[in-house]
């Protein structure tokens, strides 16, 4: 196809950040959240400590699942929405949602998730596992188009005023304009990218 401009706006949800542990490819493990009601009355482990994991844990709990949240850090992420944070923290305090902080998943088996905390190993019962550990853009796609990426941040070389990349005629829009820092762009600010790209045509 021939075009005057190519706008790449592929987001990041197609590429989950994998845990890289044995059992991650088992059928009961998902990197995407779905209907919580299928988990009613079942043991569910949610891995992660930011918005997706916190919201999934709450929805699963309210749908009647027995939920354990497993997070590698000592506390939930600072970016967890201000109305979600007290809800999840209070459910954990009340013991309604179990939580394991500073915990690493070592492997996933058909009916349990093995975690380690320090030297201690623990088996968490799990009929369903949600590994909600974030996503990343398809950086290989960008490199394949000839777009230069900053070595550390993987931010594309992109004019902030027009969003044209170092490849003439190739533009970027949305979350992928920030390299690894995908959370800097969301719906509220990313929606203005079209105006930047096409403003030159309006005159
Ligand atoms: C649970 C959750 C809650 C959120 N809540 C909010 C909120 O309240 N407010 C807010 O502002 N943001 C929110 N966000 C973030 C918001 O969804 C993202 O910031 C936003 O969708 C990013 O927009 P984008 O256009 O960069 O990418 P996307 O919206 O992901 O769009 C990318 C599109 O490109 C397509 N695509 C990918 N690869 C290819 C390819 N190779 N060829 C063709 N098509 C391709 C995808 O299928 C998709 O349709 C939330 C996200 C999640 C997960």
- The atom of ligand 1 lying closest to the CA of 175 is 26
CA distances from 100 to 58, 59, 69, 184 (A): 15, 18, 6, 28
Domain that holds residue 39: 29-131
CATH code of residue 173: 3.50.50.60
Residue 19 in domain: no
What is the chain's mean pLDDT, rounded? 96
pLDDT of 201 higher than 70: no
How many Å apart are CA 155 and CA 197, to the nearest integer? 18
The residue to mutate among 163, 187, 192, having the most atoms of ligand 1 within 8 angstroms of its beta carbon, is 187
Q: Do 34 and 59 sit in the same domain of this protein? A: yes
CB of 190 shorter than 6 A to ligand 1: yes
Q: What is the CA radius of gyration of the chain?
A: 20
pTM of the full structure: 0.89
pLDDT tens digits along 1-54: 999 999 999 999 999 999 999 999 999 999 999 999 999 999 999 999 999 999
Q: Do 151 and 101 sit in the same domain of this protein? A: no
Which one of 98, 131, 164 terminates a domain?
A: 131
Residue of 116, 88, 84, 98 whose CA lies nearest to 45:
98
Please report the DSSP string for 162-183 in residue order. Answer: T-BBSSTTEEE-GGGGGTT-GG
Q: Do 59 and 115 sit in the same domain of this protein? A: yes
Q: Do 112 and 146 sit in the same domain of this protein? A: no
CB of 183 shorter than 6 A to ligand 1: no
Which one of 81, 100, 131 terminates a domain?
A: 131
Q: Do 88 and 119 sit in the same domain of this protein? A: yes
Residue 22 in domain: no
CA distances from 86 to 23, 78, 99 (A): 33, 12, 15
The residue to mutate among 1, 7, 9, 10, having the most atoms of ligand 1 within 8 angstroms of its beta carbon, is 10
Which residue reads 């058909």 in tokens?
A: 110
């Amino acid at each position: 196809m021939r075009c005057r401009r190519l706008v790449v706006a592929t987001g990041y949800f197609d590429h989950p950040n994998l845990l890289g542990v044995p059992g991650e490819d088992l059928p009961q493990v998902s990197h995407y959240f779905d209907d919580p009601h299928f988990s009613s009355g079942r043991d569910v482990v949610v891995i992660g400590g930011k918005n997706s994991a916190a919201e999934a844990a709450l929805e699963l709990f309210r749908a009647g699942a027995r939920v354990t949240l497993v997070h590698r850090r000592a506390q939930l992420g600072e970016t967890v929405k201000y109305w979600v944070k007290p809800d999840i923290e209070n459910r954990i305090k009340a013991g309604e949602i179990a939580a394991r902080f500073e915990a690493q998943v070592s492997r996933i088996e058909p009916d349990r998730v093995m975690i380690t905390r320090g030297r201690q190993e623990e088996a968490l019962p799990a009929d369903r596992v949600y590994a909600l550990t974030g996503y990343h853009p398809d950086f290989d796609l960008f490199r394949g188009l000839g777009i230069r990426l900053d070595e550390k941040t993987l931010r594309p070389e992109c004019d902030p005023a027009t969003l044209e990349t170092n490849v003439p005629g190739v533009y970027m829009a949305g979350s992928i304009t920030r390299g690894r820092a995908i959370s800097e762009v969301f719906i509220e600010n990313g929606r203005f990218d079209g105006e930047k790209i096409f403003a030159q045509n309006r005159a």
